[in-house]
């Protein structure tokens, strides 16, 4: 990856993290921890990878992204705003009664949102339907699904994993945000969904494990997924929940709570100081 | 397929036939099933258009959300299984993946109601009209015979949005002339006029309502019979008109008396034109195994019970 591209991605990820904190602080509500852990993957997909057009968000043969871990709308909306689907100022209206930025993704109200999600497990299946539909329609596109590690506790995830492999959905790539935490604590303490790579491998998927904050690794994995024919690819991303804000890092309580004014100012200061 | 009045045929058979017929006319139709293609009759579509048929295995929740994804791409998926495993098990994926974004998915649910028979309570879905009616924007169709079932499939294709269609396992008499039958979604069909009471029936119970009308004639009661193929949106205008002209209403359905047609009619009557309403259906119970005729006797889904309820409603009139 050349230096300019890396700089561009780092700047985008920084803006996505700043936007996510802005949104959650404005709403006094929302999910910062998982927004920050997946920000680099969102930056790569929305800013570099996906064939999408903010001026024509419904282009039929576009790439799709399904945020199956739908609660991290602060990260998703900040990424969509960064890509130009709507003005960044709208992030301040997140979760408000008159805003098109609903608490969880709503494809009918938000430009750039490809699937309504939020109830865990459902988005992954919908992404399988999109990938199957893309093949039926002869599109040469990609479908990306972003899953939480805690979300893997939903049984429907494994129904979808079986389905995707059975129908050889090699146009589907799933990212698992493996940050190790869910609302009630460590995923290994709640109901342990590990080992994750082995599970996807056992379900017949191509599996790649990466550092989910390393753009070079993300790029390489996305490329390898495109090369893999005949089966879907799962990219298991080792990440840090709350990445970039010191007091949010690796703390389950920042899964779904908003910072107060002092914490907000510290978070913005820390993120602004990132290179 | 051509169906003749009086022939006995299950609406699920007509579902399978209609998928094949309209699959030719509408190339964007795709069919999903959950390991029950032989029973739901989607096997007919699978044989005709294997490239547009996808078995999802025994995983109905995944099937519902996969259907949402397919619909988001512009395809028209029919997701099929038993009523219990769609409107029951997959209620939440249907609500959140299909209903909330108002996606163009058709849910073809067979084996609804008590007439499932021998399989018993776990498979006799008596709640589906209720759960599906609760989803905003969901059209709920419940055809009475094979002719209406065929028409319901094409009507569903022409609705841009989610549709639930309820089919039965049991062979029931054809009551409509195929050549002249027209389905207007949201409009009840007056099968017989009457001045003393109005019987609103849906699904296979429409036939029982017609028989009840004949029984009542002997007692000097002139009952209207209305077939309701669209449980949601209910035909408010017709309910109000019949309440006003007859002053007594009975509803009939192969469903719990809670949540289905009885409630849909009662809601209109209570708000707009209060008159006595008696509901014939399964009275808040689970089903059980058995042959269909004794089951219908056991749960009171017979013309005699319908006639009795009409008399009770008429007696309550002011």
The terminus-to-terminus CA distance of chain B in angstroms comes to: 48
Would you call B299 exposed, middle or buried from its count of C-beta atoms within 10 A (0-12, 13-18, 19+)? buried
Q: CA quadruple B147, B149, B151, B153: dihedral positive or negative?
A: negative
Residue B248: the pLDDT is: 98
Task: Please check whether residue A208 is in contact with residue A148, taking contact to mean a CB–CB distance below 8 angstroms.
Answer: no
The predicted-structure confidence for A40-74, as pLDDT tens digits, reads as follows: 999 999 999 999 999 999 999 999 999 999 999 99
Q: Given its phi and psi angles, is residue B273 left (phi above 0), alpha (psi -120 to 50 degrees) or beta? A: beta
Q: Do B66 and A106 touch (CB under 8 A)?
A: no
Strands (E), chain A: 64-67, 143-148, 172-178, 181-182, 185-186, 206-211, 233-238
Residue B197: the pLDDT is: 98
CA distances from A234 to A138, A176, A225, B229 (A): 23, 7, 8, 45
Question: Residue B70: its chain A contacts at CB < 8 A?
Answer: 129-130, 132-133
Q: Is the pLDDT assigned to residue A153 strictly greater than 90?
A: yes
Residue A241: the pLDDT is: 98
Residue B318: the pLDDT is: 73
Residue B1: the pLDDT is: 84
Q: Structure pTM?
A: 0.97
The answer to whether residue B178 sits within a structural domain is no
Read off the pLDDT band of A33 (50, 70, 90): very high
Residue B151: the pLDDT is: 98
What does the CA dihedral B42, B44, B46, B52 come to, rounded to 10 degrees? -80
Rounded Cα distance between A21 and A43, Å, is 15
Rounded Cα distance between A107 and A100, Å, is 10
Residue A44: the pLDDT is: 98
Nearest to B37 by CA among B66, B12, B9, B61: B12
CATH of the domain at B118: 3.40.50.970
Per-residue pLDDT of chain B (318 residues; tens, 9 = 90+): 899 999 999 999 999 999 999 999 999 999 999 999 999 999 999 999 999 999 999 999 999 999 999 999 999 999 999 999 999 999 999 999 999 999 999 999 999 999 999 999 999 999 999 999 999 999 999 999 999 999 999 999 999 999 999 999 999 999 999 999 999 999 999 999 999 999 999 999 999 999 999 999 999 999 999 999 999 999 999 999 999 999 999 999 999 999 999 999 999 999 999 999 999 999 999 999 999 999 999 999 999 999 999 999 999 997
The number of domains in chain B is 2
CA distances from A7 to A36, A79, A222, A237, B239 (A): 18, 16, 19, 21, 67
Residue B259 φ/ψ, nearest 5 degrees: 95, -20
The predicted-structure confidence for B52-82, as pLDDT tens digits, reads as follows: 999 999 999 999 999 999 999 999 999 999 9
Strands (E), B172-276: 172-173, 189-192, 197-201, 223-227, 230-232, 249-256
Residue A216: the pLDDT is: 98
Q: What is the assigned CATH class of domain A3-272?
A: alpha beta
Domain span holding position B56: 8-173
> Domain ends where: B173, B199, B234?
B173
Number of Cβ atoms within 10 Å of the Cβ of B190: 15
Q: Is the pLDDT assigned to residue A275 strictly greater than 90?
A: no
Tell whether B227 and B164 lie within a shared domain. no
Q: Is the pLDDT assigned to residue A113 strictly greater than 80?
A: yes
The predicted-structure confidence for B192-203, as pLDDT tens digits, reads as follows: 999 999 999 999
Q: Is the pLDDT assigned to residue A83 strictly greater than 90?
A: yes
Task: Please check whether residue A32 is in contact with residue A17, taking contact to mean a CB–CB distance below 8 angstroms.
Answer: no
Rounded Cα distance between B234 and B187, Å, is 8
The answer to whether residue B179 sits within a structural domain is no
Which of A60, A127, A131 is opposite residue B74, by nearest beta carbon? Answer: A60
CATH of the domain at B306: 3.40.50.920
DSSP helix/strand/coil, B173: strand
Mean pLDDT value across residues A184-190: 97
> Domain ends where: B173, B200, B229?
B173
Across chain B, what does the average pLDDT equal?
Answer: 98
In the DSSP assignment, the letter for residue B113 is: S
Tell whether B244 and B306 lie within a shared domain. yes
Task: Please check whether residue A163 is in contact with residue B62, taking contact to mean a CB–CB distance below 8 angstroms.
Answer: yes
Tell whether B123 and B241 lie within a shared domain. no
Tell whether B29 and B128 lie within a shared domain. yes
Rounded Cα distance between B237 and B244, Å, is 11
CA distance A108 to chain B (A): 6
Name the token pair of B150.
């065929």
Q: Do A160 and B62 touch (CB under 8 A)?
A: yes
Tell whether B120 and B220 lie within a shared domain. no
The predicted-structure confidence for B151-180, as pLDDT tens digits, reads as follows: 999 999 999 999 999 999 999 999 999 999
Tell whether B244 and B299 lie within a shared domain. yes
The answer to whether residue B184 sits within a structural domain is no
The answer to whether residue B160 sits within a structural domain is yes
Tell whether B167 and B40 lie within a shared domain. yes
Q: Do A122 and B75 touch (CB under 8 A)?
A: no
For testing contact with chain A, the best of B52, B62, B161 (most A CBs within 10 A):
B62
CA-atom Rg of chain B in angstroms = 19
The predicted-structure confidence for A199-246, as pLDDT tens digits, reads as follows: 999 999 999 999 999 999 999 999 999 999 999 999 999 999 999 999
Q: Do B57 and A166 touch (CB under 8 A)?
A: yes
Question: Residue A118: its chain B contacts at CB < 8 A?
Answer: 96
Q: With pLDDT > 90 as the criterion, what percentage of chain A qualifies?
A: 100
Tell whether B29 and B57 lie within a shared domain. yes
- Under 8 Å CB pairs connecting chains A and B tally to 109
Which residue numbers of B are catalytic?
A: 60
Q: Do A125 and B52 touch (CB under 8 A)?
A: no
DSSP helix/strand/coil, B79: strand
Tell whether B206 and B298 lie within a shared domain. yes
């Amino acid at each position: 990856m050349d230096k300019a591209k890396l700089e561009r991605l780092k700047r985008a990820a920084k803006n996505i993290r700043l936007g996510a904190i802005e949104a959650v602080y404005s709403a006094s509500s929302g999910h910062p921890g998982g927004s920050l852990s997946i920000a680099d993957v969102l930056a790569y997909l929305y800013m570099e990878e996906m064939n999408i057009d903010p001026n024509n968000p419904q282009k039929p043969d576009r790439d799709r992204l399904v945020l199956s871990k739908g609660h991290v709308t602060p990260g998703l909306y900040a990424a969509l705003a960064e890509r130009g689907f709507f003005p960044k100022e709208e992030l301040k209206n997140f979760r408000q009664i008159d805003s098109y930025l609903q608490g969880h993704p709503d494809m009918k109200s938000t430009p750039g949102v490809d699937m309504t999600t939020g109830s865990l497990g459902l988005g992954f299946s919908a992404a399988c339907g999109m990938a199957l539909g893309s093949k039926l329609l002869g599109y040469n596109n990609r479908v990306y699904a972003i899953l939480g590690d805690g979300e893997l506790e939903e049984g429907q995830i494994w129904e979808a994993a079986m389905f995707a492999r059975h129908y050889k959905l090699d146009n589907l790539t799933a990212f698992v945000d493996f940050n190790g935490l869910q609302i009630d604590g460590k995923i290994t303490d709640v109901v342990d969904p590990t080992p994750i790579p082995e599970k996807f491998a056992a379900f017949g998927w191509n599996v790649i494990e990466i550092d989910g904050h390393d753009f070079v690794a993300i790029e390489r994995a996305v490329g390898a997924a495109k090369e893999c024919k005949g089966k879907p690819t799962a990219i298991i991303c080792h990440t840090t929940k709350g990445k970039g804000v010191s007091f949010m890092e690796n703390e389950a309580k920042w899964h779904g709570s908003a910072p107060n004014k002092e914490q907000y100012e510290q978070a913005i200061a820390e993120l602004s100081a990132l290179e | 397929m051509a169906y003749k009045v009086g022939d006995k045929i299950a609406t699920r058979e007509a579902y399978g036939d209609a998928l094949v017929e309209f699959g030719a006319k509408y190339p964007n139709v795709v069919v999903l099933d959950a390991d029950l293609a032989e029973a739901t009759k989607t096997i007919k579509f699978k044989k005709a258009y294997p490239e547009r048929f996808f078995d999802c295995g025994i995983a109905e929740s995944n099937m519902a959300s996969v259907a949402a994804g397919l619909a988001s791409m512009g395809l028209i998926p029919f997701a099929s299984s038993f009523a219990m495993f769609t409107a029951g098990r997959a209620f939440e994926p249907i609500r959140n993946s299909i209903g909330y974004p108002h996606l163009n998915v058709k849910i073809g649910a067979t084996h609804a109601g008590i007439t499932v028979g021998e399989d018993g309570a776990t498979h006799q879905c008596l709640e589906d009209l209720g759960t599906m009616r609760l989803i905003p924007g969901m059209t709920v169709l419940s055809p009475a015979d094979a002719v209406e079932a065929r028409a319901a499939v094409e009507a569903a294709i022409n609705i841009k949005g989610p549709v639930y269609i309820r089919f039965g396992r049991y062979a029931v008499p054809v009551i409509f002339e195929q050549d002249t039958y027209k389905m207007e979604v949201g409009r009840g069909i007056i099968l017989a006029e009457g001045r003393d009471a109005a019987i609103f029936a849906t699904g296979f119970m429409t036939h029982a309502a017609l028989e009840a009308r004949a029984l009542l004639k002997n007692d000097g009661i002139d009952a209207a019979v209305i077939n309701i193929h669209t449980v949601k949106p209910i035909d408010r205008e017709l309910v109000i008109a019949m309440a006003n002209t007859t002053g007594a209403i009975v509803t009939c359905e192969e469903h719990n008396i809670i949540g289905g047609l009885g409630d849909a009619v009662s809601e209109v009557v209570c708000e707009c034109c209060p008159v006595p309403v008696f509901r014939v259906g399964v009275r808040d119970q689970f089903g059980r195994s058995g042959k269909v005729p004794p089951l219908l006797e056991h749960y009171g889904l017979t013309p005699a019970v319908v006639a009795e309820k009409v008399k009770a409603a008429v007696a309550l009139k002011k």
